[in-house]
Amino acid sequence: MEPSRDSRGIVRLDQPKTGTYGWQVRLQRGGVKFARYFADRAAGGPQAAFELACAWRDELLERFAREIAQARVCRTSARNSSGVVGVSRIAIQVPSGAVYFFWQASWSPSPGTRHSIRFSVKRHGEKQAFRLAVEARRDATGL
């Protein structure tokens, strides 16, 4: 089955042993993973399932674009939006669907190794979690 349009972020799943036939959409933005499966049988066939998968993917991409447009008030670097090297704000979505936000400090103590520590926005508040991440990065790197 060849898709009739752009299949970015969409993969075909054909697993005869489990009776799984359909399309899966997988996207990730800001550390949050989004995934959804579209079964051929439920959609009325492979092409219909693919069209549903494309529609859901396109809706997600539009939502991401709106969030970026609303979140950026001033120009920021694509490589650093916090203003502090090695400190970033991340979001993690758990299987229940809840999303948790953290400020994360990352550093490389030696070539080939990477360390990080996260501070919960829910537990510490936005400003304090950011400050703790900045301090942790400075303590770890000595900068």
Q: State the Cα–Cα distance between residues 76 and 141, nearest whole angstrom.
A: 24
Q: pLDDT tens across 29-52, in order? A: 777 889 999 999 999 999 999 999
Number of domains in the chain: 2
Where does residue 117 rank: exposed (0-12), middle (13-18), buried (19+ CB within 10 A)?
middle
In a domain, residue 5? The reply is no
Confidence (pLDDT) at 143? 65
Domain that holds residue 91: 87-141
Q: Are residues 133 and 98 part of one domain?
A: yes
Helix ranges (H only) for 10-125 are 40-43, 46-71, 121-124
What is the distance between the alpha carbons of residues 54 and 47, in angstroms, rounded to a whole number?
Answer: 10
Residue 97 lies in a domain: yes
Q: Is residue 76 part of a domain?
A: no
Report the distance separating Cα 84 and Cα 35, nearest Å. 31
How far is residue 55's CA from residue 42's CA, in Å, rounded to a whole number? 16
pLDDT at 3: 52
- Structure pTM? 0.47
Assigned domain for 109 exists: yes
